[in-house]
Chain A
Amino acid sequence: MATTTAAPGRPAPGRPTTKLGSAALEVDERLIVAGPVRRTLNKVFPDHWSFLLGEIALYSFVVLLLSGTYLTFFFDASMKEVTYGGDYAPLRGVEMSAAFESTLGLAFDVRGGLLIRQMHHWAALLFVASICVHLLRIFFTGAFRKPRETNWFIGVGLLVLALLEGFAGYTLPDDLLSGTGLRIFSAVFLSIPVIGTWIYFTIFGGDFPGELIIGRLYILHVLVIPAILLALIAVHLLILVKQKHTQFPGAGRTEHNVVGNRLFPTFAGKATALFFIVFGLCAGLGGLVQINPIWLFGPYNPAQVSSGSQPDWYIGFLDGSARLFPPWEIVMWGYHITPVFWATVAIPGLMFTALALYPVIERKLTGDTASHHLLQRPRDVPVRTSLGAMALSFYIVLWISGGNDVIADKFDISLNAMTWFGRIGMIVIPPIVYALTYRLCLGLERHDREVLEHGIETGVIRRLPSGEFIEVHQPLGPVDEHGHGQLAYGGASVPKKMNQVGGARRAVKGFFKPIEEPAAVQAEARRETRGLEAARESRELTGSGRPTEGGRPAEGGRPSEGGRPQQEPRD
C-alpha cells in the first residue's frame, strides 16, 4: 500500500529504516495485506460489559477444542467388554466397557489427565451457560431485530448443537450416570409417533444398548458436531463483523455509527485478557472442583441406578419436563402417543421453534420492518421483556423440577408435593411473571419520565416561608416556565443520582494513600466539559458534592433566575 510501494534500492521517503520495517515490506509486497490489516485494526467495538458474554462462549469453545483434543489421545470409544486392572483398586476385576476403562485411565494412569478431563467438563458447562446468557442479552435488548435475524437463527442453532454436543460428550464415559441418561434418551427416540421404533433401532444399531452407540456418539462428538459448530461460529462472527455491532443509545450514538474502542490495541487487549481469564477459570475449576467422578458411579449396568442422579445443568429442563408431565397416554387403534413424547420432544421442540422464530413473530406483530442498530432498554419494550421473562420462568420451573428429588430430600418436602408444585407452577407462574414484569417495566419507564420532567432528587430539603418542607430537584436540562424539564427520553439510561451528573468529582486514585493531588483532580473536574461542572466553574464544592451554602444546585446554571426555586415541589 501507500508506504510500501517504494522500490527497494532507490532512496525514497517512507522507505523502512528498521529491520522489522523491511521484513514487513517484504511480506506486504507478496501478500498485499497492509490495507485489510489496517481496516481490521481500526474496526470500532462498542464498550459494554454485556458484549463480552458471547466472547466467553467463544473462548470456552477454544478451551473445549484444546482440552478435548488432548482427551482423544487416551480415550477408547469402544463398548468391548474388558476387566479392569488399573490403579484404582475398588474397581479391579470389575467388567466394564473399554470406554469406561480408558476414562478411568485418564484419571488414574495419565499424569494430569484428570485435570484436563475436569477442565473439559467445566468448560462445557460454561460454554452452554454463556451461550444462554448471551442469548438473553440479545433477546432483552432487541439486538435480534433486522438486519440481525440471520445471526439469531444461527445462534439458536449453535445453542441446540451445543446441547447435543454436551449430551454426546457426557455419555461417552459409559458410566452408570450417563448410561442411565442414554437409556432415557432411548425412550425419547422410542416415543416418537410412527417412526420411533425405527429411529431407535437405527441409532442404536439394534436394541438398547447394543455395541455401536459409544463409537457413533464419539464421532459425532469429536468430528461432526464440532465441525458444524466451528463453521457456524465462523459465519456468526463474519456476519457480526460485516454488520458491525449494535450499541446502546447514548451521546453521539446513532443508527449509522458505532462508538467505542478500536480493535487495536484496546479491544484486542481486553479480549485477550478475557480469554486468559476464562481459560484460567476452567483450569482452576478443573483442578479444585471435582466433577463427574465416574469411578464412584461405576460402569453402566441396566439394572442399577443411584438416587439423586442429576444430568448436566443444561439437560435438567428436559428431565423436569419428563417428571412433571401427567401420565396421559393417547391410545388410538392400538397406537400409542406417550407422555415422554409430549414432555421431551413436543415441548422442547415448541420451545426452540418459538425461540428461533421470535424475530419473525415480533416483526409480524409490530409491523416494524426497519433496520435497527441501536439497542433497546428492556423497560422500553414491556411486551417483549414480559414475554421473555414469562418464557424464562417456564424454563426455570422445568429446570428446578429436574432436581425436585434433591430439593425434596434436602428441604424435607414431600416429593409428590414438589411434583405438584411443578405441574401447577409451569402453568400458573409464567402468566404471573408476565404481569409483574409488565408492571415493573411501566414503573421504570414512568420513573425515567418523571426524572426528565422534574429532575433528580438532590437530598436537599428546604423549608418554604409557609413552613412547608420540600425537596429540591435538579433538572437535567432547560426547563419551561412551570419548571418542567424539556428533555425528551432518548432510549438511554437516565441519571438518577447527583453523582451521575457531576455532583461529585471522581475519586482520588490510590489504594492506601492518594497518589495524585486532590487539588489536581478538582481542577480536572472543573475543566471537564461534560455534566454540570462546566456551568458551575466558580462554585465551591464540599467533599460531599453539595453546595457549601444553602444555594440550590440549579442556581449556578441559571443565575438570572435569582433565588426562585426552579420547579414546583413534587408531592
Chain B
Amino acid sequence: MTTTDHRPGSAGGTDEPGPLHGGPDDDYSPERLAAMDATELDRLGARYDGVEVLHVDPAPAPGSRLEKQASRQVTLWFFLAGVFALAFLVVYVGSGWFLPTWRWRIDGSLWSDLYTPLVGLTMGLSLISVGIGLVLFVKKLLPHETAVQDKHDGSHFDRVTTAATLNGALTNSGLTRRKAMTRTLGFMGAAFGAMLIAPLGGMLKNPNTGNPLGTTLWADGVRIVRDDGTPIRPGDQEPGSLATVFPAVPGGHFSADSPLMLIRLRPEQMAEVQPRAGQEDFGYGDYVAYSKICTHAGCPVSLYEQETSRILCPCHQSQFDVTQGAKPIFGPATRSLPQLPIAVDDEGYFVARGDFPEPIGPSFWNIGRVS
C-alpha cells in the first residue's frame, strides 16, 4: 500500500516512477482530491488507515450560549494559568529583592517559611490550570467523535514470505552444513561475552581476607569512651541506665561495627542475671557491655526499657533481655547481642579486655565458621 515515488538515480533510468509506483495516488488524482472538502478528505484518510468515524456529536454551534459559556470557561483557565505562572515568577525572583529573603534564618522568618509552599502552590496551580483548560476545551468545544479502527492479528502471507527470506539467507550462509564454523561461533560468543563482563571482576572483594566480618575495633586495653571522647569510670552512670559508647581509637565514633551499649544493671536485675555459658566474667560489677548492632538486620538497637530489662530494635522490633546475656526474646532476631568483656584500667577507666567473642551484627552464611 505504500507508494514508492523515488526517482531512479544515476543508474541511467528515465525520470519516471517505477512499476511498483502506485497506491492511492493512482486512485485519487490531485483533481479528484481537490474536489473533496476537508471533512471528506479527513474521512478518506481515516478509512485508508482502517478507521471509520461512526458518530459525531457536533460541537456547540458558534455563537450559541453554550459555546460562549464554554469558551469563556476555557479562556478563564488559560488566563489563570498565566496569572499563576506570573505569581510564581514574582515570588521566585522577587524574594530577597523587593520581597523578604527566602533564606532560612534561625530566628525564623514568615516569608522564608512560606517561600517553598508559595512557589510550589503557584507552579502547581499554573500547571493544573493548563490541564483543566485543556480538558474543558476537549470536552466542551470539540465535536465528540466515536471512531472504530480495525485490528489485525497478523497475516499468514507476511509470516510465510518473511520466513522464506530468512531461511534463504540461512541456507546461503551454509551455517547448517558448516558444523565446525557454527561450533566455533558458539565458542567465540561465549568467550567474547565473558571477556566483556570480566572487567567487572575488579569490583570483587574477598570477604575472607583478614577476617573483616569477625573483628571490630575493640581489642584488649582499648578504652571505652563516650560520644564526646571522655572516658568512663564505674559509678559515672546511674543504675538502670544505658550509654552508647565507642572504642577510643581513630575512627571509633564512625565505625559501623563497634558501637557498644554500656549498661549499669539495677540491684533487682543483678539478682536475675544469667550470663551466657563461658561469658560469666565478661561484665564488671553491675556493668555489662553489648554490641549495639542488632543481630537481625544491623540497625542500632536503641530503646532500653529498664523495668523489663528489654532492649528493643526500632527497625524490626527484635527484643533482647539484658539480664540473660542479651538473648532475643521476641521478634525476628535469632542470636544474642555479642557481649564485650570489660575491665577497669590502672587509672580507673573502663577498657575492653579483647574483641567480641563472635561476629557482631546480622548473621551470614559462614558465620559459624568465623570467629
Contact = CB atoms under 8 A, between A and B. Distances in A.
Nearest to A34: B45
Given A257-B150, A303-B246, A309 B314 contact: yes
Interface in B269-302: 292-293, 296-300, 302
B127 A283 contact: yes
Given A198-B204, A277-B131, A405-B317, A2 B256 contact: no
B364 A326 contact: no
B286 to A, nearest CB: 23
A340 B127 contact: no
Contact of B292 (A303, A319, A333, A415): A303
B33 A13 contact: yes
Contact of A327 (B3, B205, B332): B332
A188 to B, nearest CB: 8
Given A269-B138, A305-B300, A329-B334, A90 B106 contact: yes
B127 A200 contact: no
A336 B144 contact: no
A433 interface: no
Contact of A516 (B66, B123, B312): B66
A256 B106 CA distance: 67
A287 B121 contact: yes
Given A14-B34, A44-B147, A339-B334, A2 B123 contact: no
A392 interface: no
A515 B65 contact: yes
A244 interface: yes
A115 B116 contact: yes
Contacts of B117: 287-288
Given A14-B33, A269-B138, A327-B334, A244 B149 contact: yes
B31 interface: yes
B178 interface: no
A191 B126 CA distance: 49
Contacts of B259: 302-303
Contacts of B134: 269-270, 272-273, 276
B151 A257 contact: yes
Contacts of B2: 35
A316 interface: no
A510 to B, nearest CB: 8
Interface string A386-422: 0000000000000000001100000000011001000
Contacts of A274: 131
Contacts of A338: 334, 362-364
Nearest to A277: B131
Contacts of B203: 202, 205
Interface in B356-371: 361-369
B317 A334 contact: no
Interface stretch (A132-140, A165-173, A259-267, A471-479): A259-267
A327 B297 CA distance: 12
A164 B82 CA distance: 38
Interface string A526-551: 00000000000000000000000000
Contacts of A277: 127-128, 131-132
Contacts of B364: 190-191, 196-197, 200, 336, 338
Q: Is the interface of B mostly helix, strand, loop or mixed?
A: mixed
A326 B106 contact: no
B183 interface: no
A349 B137 CA distance: 47
Interface string A215-226: 000000000000
Interface string B145-157: 1111111110000
Contact of B69 (A89, A257, A373, A515): A515
B30 A331 contact: no
Contact of B137 (A13, A269, A280, A283): A269
Contacts of B144: 266
A296 to B, nearest CB: 13
B166 to A, nearest CB: 20
A256 B104 CA distance: 62
A561 interface: no
Nearest to B150: A257
B244 interface: yes
A108 B331 contact: no
Nearest to B200: A202
Nearest to A122: B120
A193 interface: yes
B142 A269 contact: yes
A419 B207 CA distance: 34
B86 interface: no
Contact of A509 (B5, B66, B145): B66
A338 B296 CA distance: 8
A323 B149 contact: no
B219 interface: no
Contact of B145 (A183, A262, A285): A262
Interface stretch (A153-161, A206-214, A450-458): A206-214
A66 B146 CA distance: 35
A283 B318 CA distance: 39
B232 interface: no
A306 B205 CA distance: 32
Contacts, number: 326
A515 B240 CA distance: 78
Contacts of B145: 261-262, 266
Contacts of B218: none
Given A302-B256, A331-B368, A338-B362, A206 B124 contact: no
A200 to B, nearest CB: 7
A270 B53 CA distance: 19
B30 A329 contact: no
Contact of B367 (A255, A322, A336): A336
B145 to A, nearest CB: 6
Interface centre among B2, B48, B130, B316 (most CB of A within 10 A): B316
Contacts of B328: 327
A493 interface: no
B102 interface: yes
A311 to B, nearest CB: 10
A259 B34 contact: no
Given A280-B125, A283-B127, A336-B367, A115 B151 contact: no
A509 B70 CA distance: 11
B138 A262 contact: no
B204 A202 contact: yes
A265 B144 CA distance: 10
B314 A305 contact: yes
B98 interface: no
Interface string A1-20: 11101100000111000000
Contacts of B130: 273, 276, 280
Contacts of B254: 301-302
Contact of A371 (B121, B153, B316): B153
Contacts of B125: 280, 284
A73 interface: no
A286 B125 CA distance: 12
Contacts of B106: 89-90
B101 to A, nearest CB: 10
Given A197-B366, A324-B332, 5 more contacts: A1-B3, A2-B28, A2-B33, A187-B296, A302-B257
Give 10 nearest A-B pairs by CB, closest first.
A287-B120, A284-B124, A280-B127, A334-B368, A13-B34, A280-B128, A276-B131, A273-B134, A303-B259, A277-B131
15 contacts: A12-B30, A42-B49, A42-B149, A112-B92, A190-B362, A201-B212, A258-B149, A276-B128, A280-B129, A284-B120, A284-B124, A287-B116, A305-B299, A322-B315, A331-B368
Interface of A: 1-3, 5-6, 12-14, 35, 38-39, 42-44, 87-90, 108, 111-112, 114-115, 118-119, 147, 180, 183-184, 186-188, 190-198, 200-202, 205-209, 244, 252, 255-262, 265-266, 269-270, 272-277, 279-288, 301-309, 319, 322-329, 331, 333-340, 343, 371, 373, 404-405, 415-416, 419, 509-510, 515-516
